[in-house]
Amino acid sequence: MRRLLLTFVLAIVPLLGPAEVVRLAPDFTWLTSGGRGASLRSLRGQPVVLVVAQSPRQRIFRAQVGQLQKIYQLLGNERAVTIAAFTQEPGVIRSNIPFVQAANPAAVAAAYGIAGNFAVFIIGKDGNIDLATDRVVPGQRVLDVINNSFVVQRDNRRSE
The answer to whether position 71 is within a domain reads: yes
User: Who has greater pLDDT, 95 or 156?
Assistant: 95
Q: How confident is the model at residue 151 (pLDDT cuts 50, 70, 90)?
A: low
Cα–Cα distance measured from residue 147 to residue 102, given in angstroms and rounded to the nearest whole number: 25
Closest of 152, 150, 121, 113 to residue 21, by C-alpha: 150
Residue 145 lies in a domain: yes
- This prediction has a pTM of 0.81
CATH of the domain at 125: 3.40.30.10
Q: What is the mean pLDDT of residues 10-26?
A: 61
Average pLDDT along the chain: 85
In a domain, 79, yes or no: yes
Domain that holds residue 35: 22-156
Give the amino acid at 39. Answer: S
Average pLDDT over residues 141-148: 94
Domain assignment present for 10 = no
Determine which helix (DSSP H) or strand (DSSP E) holds 123, and give its type and residue range: strand 118-123
Overall number of domains in the chain: 1
Segment 69-104, tens digit of pLDDT: 999 999 989 999 999 999 999 888 989 899 999 999
- Are the beta carbons of 139 and 160 closer than 8 angstroms? no
pLDDT digits (tens, 9 = 90+) for 48-61: 999 999 999 999 99
Residue 9 lies in a domain: no
Look at residue 58 in the predicted model and tell me its pLDDT.
Answer: 96
- The answer as to whether 36 is a domain residue is yes
Sheet holding 48-53, edge to edge: 99-101, 81-86, 48-53, 118-123, 129-133
Residue 48 lies in a domain: yes
Distance in angstroms (rounded) separating the CA atoms of residues 151 and 7: 30
